[in-house]
Amino acid sequence: MQSKAIINALRYGTPPAASSWQSFGRENEIRAFDTQLTLIREGASSVKLMLGDFGTGKSELISALKRHALEKDYVIATLQIQDGFRFNKIDDFYYAIMHHLSVKHHTDGKASFNDLFEIWLNNLQNSPFPNQNRFEINAVCQALSQYNMNFARAFLSFMRARIQKNPEMQQVTTAWLTGERQIPHALKQKYGLTGFVDKTNTLDFLSAFCKLLTLLDYKGLVVFIDELDLIMDYRSDLRNAAYQNLKQLIDLGDLQHILFYFSGAKSLIEDADKGILSLPSLAQRLNYTNPAAFDGTNLTQPISCLTPLSSEQLKSLGIKIASIYREAYADNLFIDDELLSNTIVSLSSAASTRQFVTSLIAHLDSEYRNHASPMQSL
């Protein structure tokens, strides 16, 4: 079934979700990403921009990086500009992160804020030491108080709600911790919650959350933000605010255990009026002050550009796809190997990776229909 799911995704030019699918031809990008993961596990924070033209395989790469981070026990958040949040509001950014989390051990990788604590709580409740849960929870709250006292108090109330099985208390404290601002005053007062997440404390809350993840034995947080180039469609003042927020993320020396991985079109560096060059201080932070000397293939720099797969890489990818297709439709696929090889060679001059993949699948589908039995054609 996985082979059919992979082919179906590729048929529409989207990255396969199947865990058995491995990104092809992007080994260098994955190694560079692995280096960044090591840095944030050790306490650093980082901002990375991966840019590429439509069809170069950017979405496929990001999908592979997400699987890689989850497998290594990082929590990830997946966001898209203008899909539920606008990057010009930093407090909306926090809310979006907290409502788009994924973890390895949870079904389909998706997770709510509550889900992050399942393993930890189970271990505490099954501990042979009677006071271990109280001791560890207090230790976590003390560590969180160094980042934001209100966050630490709310987390303590949240844990009490979990242990006491108080659904109202758990719902209210969860909403507060995840950035919800429309909580009735009476409920906040009932559970000792003060204020709410706003632009003055958002990054303190994010720091506390990242610290909390490491205390729960996760390695850190990776936030993937796609279609960053949509910022260029903002009104000029909102666009400038979004770029200022991006600069603020880079400048945060106190933020730890977090990687912000942005992806988008190359227009972000090519458009001098609306791209990152429109805010010189941001361009300087991203080491993009001299476009003529920019080397987009340098994966150690804050900005890198994804290059299309070479003709030889496309040929190898085509052979891999054909093999998976044969596995998916083994009973009814009879393709002459020489004909298939010639087709792959002729398609390898395609304008983009996406075009190559979809064209090859279309060719294989045609062969499948031509050789399917009457019953399977129905």
What does the pLDDT read at residue 318?
A: 87
Task: Report the candidate in 104, 74, 94 with the shortest Cα–Cα distance to residue 214.
Answer: 74
Spatial neighbors of 12 by CB under 8 A, at least 6 apart, are 358
Looking at residue 73, its amino acid is D
Separation CA 264–CA 345 (nearest Å): 30
Domain at 26-103+218-305, CATH from 3.40.50.300, 3.40.50.150, 3.40.50.2000, 2.40.30.10? 3.40.50.300
pLDDT tens for the chain, 378 residues: list them: 688 888 898 888 888 876 667 677 889 999 999 999 999 999 999 999 999 988 888 888 999 999 999 999 999 999 999 776 789 988 889 999 999 999 987 656 678 888 888 778 777 777 676 676 778 888 899 999 999 999 999 999 999 898 889 999 999 999 999 999 899 999 999 999 988 888 888 889 999 999 999 988 899 999 999 999 999 999 999 999 999 999 999 997 678 999 999 999 999 999 999 999 999 999 999 999 999 999 999 999 999 999 888 888 888 888 888 888 888 887 656 667 787 888 888 888 777 888 888 998 998 888 766 655 443 433
What does the pLDDT read at residue 375?
A: 37
Are the C-beta atoms of 50 and 304 separated by less than 8 Å?
A: yes
Domain boundaries, the chain: 26-103+218-305, 114-203, 311-377
Separation CA 272–CA 291 (nearest Å): 10
Tell me how long the chain is. Answer: 378
Separation CA 311–CA 344 (nearest Å): 10
pTM of the model: 0.88
Give me the residues paired with residue 222 across strands.
76, 259
What does the pLDDT read at residue 186?
A: 95
Dihedrals phi, psi of 97, to nearest 5 degrees: -60, -50
What does the pLDDT read at residue 374?
A: 40
Give me the residues paired with residue 93 across strands.
none
Separation CA 43–CA 84 (nearest Å): 29
